[in-house]
Chain A
Amino acid sequence: MQLAFGEARKLLNRYGLKTVRSSLCADRLGVLDASNRLRPPFVLKVVGGDVLHKTEKSLIFLNLESREDLEIALRKLSKRAKGLKFDGFLLQEQLKGVELILGGSRDPVFGPVVAFGSGGVLTELYKDISLRVAPFSKKDALEMIAETKASAFFTGEGFRGRKASRDRVASALVSLSKLMAERGEVSEVDLNPVIATQEAATIVDARVICHG
Chain B
Amino acid sequence: MKGSVFASPFAKPFKGRIFAVNPNASEILGVKCIPSVKDAAGPVDLAVICVPAALVPTVLRECAEKKVKAAIVVSAGFAETGPEGRQKQEEIAAICRNAGMLLLGPNCLGVLRPASSLNASFGLGMPPSGGMAFVSQSGALADSVIDWALEQMYGFSALVSLGNSAGLNEADFVDWLASDAQTKAITLYLEGVRNGKAFMAAVRKAVANDKKVFVLKGGREGKGLKAVSSHTAAMAGSYPVFAAAMRQCGATVVDSLEELFVLGDAASKQPAARNGVAVITNGGGAGVLCADYCHRYGVQLVDLREKTLARLDRGGNMHSAYSRSNPLDLIGDALPERYAAALETLLSENYVHGLIVVQTLQTMTDSIGDAKAVVAASRRHPKKPVLCVFMGGPYSKEGICFLHEHGIPNFQDPLLAVKAMAALVGKI
Interface residues of A, Cβ cutoff 8 Å to B: 52, 101, 103-111, 113, 115, 117, 123-124, 127, 129-133, 136, 140, 188-190, 192, 207
Task: List 29 A-B pairs, Cβ < 8 Å.
Answer: A101-B229, A103-B228, A103-B236, A104-B229, A105-B227, A105-B228, A108-B238, A109-B195, A110-B197, A110-B200, A110-B241, A111-B197, A113-B228, A113-B236, A115-B228, A115-B236, A124-B234, A127-B234, A129-B232, A129-B235, A131-B228, A132-B245, A133-B200, A133-B244, A133-B248, A136-B248, A188-B230, A189-B229, A192-B231
For this complex, into which size category does the number of interface residues on chain B fall? 20 to 34
Contact assessment for B234 and A129 in the assembled complex, using a CB-CB cutoff below 8 Å: no
Q: A110-B196, A111-B197 are in contact. Are A130 and B230 (CB under 8 A)?
A: no
Minimum distance in angstroms from A49 CB to a CB of chain B:
15
Contact in complex: A107, B196 (CB < 8 Å): yes
Determine the chain B residues whose CB is within 8 A of the CB of A101 once the complex forms: 229, 231-232
In B244-273, the 8 Å CB interface with A consists of: 244-245, 248
Give min CB distance, B207 to chain A, whole Å: 14
In the complex with contacts A108-B238, A109-B241, A111-B197, A188-B248 CB distance below 8 A? no
Q: A132-B248, A140-B248 are in contact. Are A190 and B241 (CB under 8 A)?
A: no
CB neighbours (8 Å) of B197 from chain A are 110-111
Residues of A within 8 A of B315 (CB): none
**Pick from B193, B226, B236, B238: contact of A129, CB under 8 Å:** B236
Instruction: Please determine whether A190 and B229 come into contact, CB atoms closer than 8 angstroms.
Output: yes
B240 CB–A CB distance under 8 Å: yes
Asked if B173 is at the interface (CB within 8 A of a chain A CB), the reply is no
Chain A residue, CB-CB nearest to B241: A107
Tell whether, in the assembled complex, residue B228 and residue A123 are in contact, meaning their CB atoms are under 8 Å apart: no
Contact, CB under 8 Å: A52 / B200:
no
- List residues of B whose CB falls within 8 A of some A CB: 192-197, 200, 226-232, 234-236, 238, 240-242, 244-245, 248
Q: State the CA gap A188–B233 with chains docked (Å).
A: 11
User: Chain B's nearest CB lies how many Å from the CB of A72?
Assistant: 29
Q: Are the C-beta atoms of A115 and B232 separated by less than 8 Å?
A: yes
For A140, list chain B residues within 8 Å (CB): 248
Q: Name A's interface SS.
A: strand
B230 contact from A108, A133, A136, A207, Cβ within 8 A:
A207
* A115 and B229 form a contact (CB under 8 A): yes
Residue among A107, A111, A127 with most chain B CB within 10 A? A107
What residues of A have a CB within 8 angstroms of the CB of B241 in the complex? 107, 109-110, 113, 131, 133
B230 touches A190 (CB 8 A): yes
CB nearest neighbor in A for B244: A131
Q: A107 to B228, alpha carbons, bound, how many Å?
A: 8
Contact (A190, B192) CB under 8 Å given A105-B226, A133-B245: no
Task: Kindly provide the distance from the CB of B329 to the nearest chain A CB, expressed in whole angstroms.
Answer: 33
Q: Given A107-B196, A110-B197, A136-B248, verify A131-B231 contact (CB < 8 Å).
A: no
Residues B234 and A188 in contact, CB atoms below 8 Å apart: no
Check if B231 sits within 8 Å of A124, measured CB to CB. Answer: yes
The one of A52, A103, A110, A123 that contacts B242, using a Cβ cutoff of 8 Å: A110
CB–CB B228/A130 < 8 A: no
If the complex has contacts A115-B236, A124-B234, are A110 and B245 also in contact, measured as CB distance less than 8 A? yes
Cβ contacts under 8 Å, B240 to chain A: 129, 131
Q: How far is the CA of A101 from the CA of B231 in the complex (A)?
A: 9
Residues on B with beta carbons closer than 8 Å to the beta carbon of A136: 248
Contact B193 A117 (CB under 8 A): no
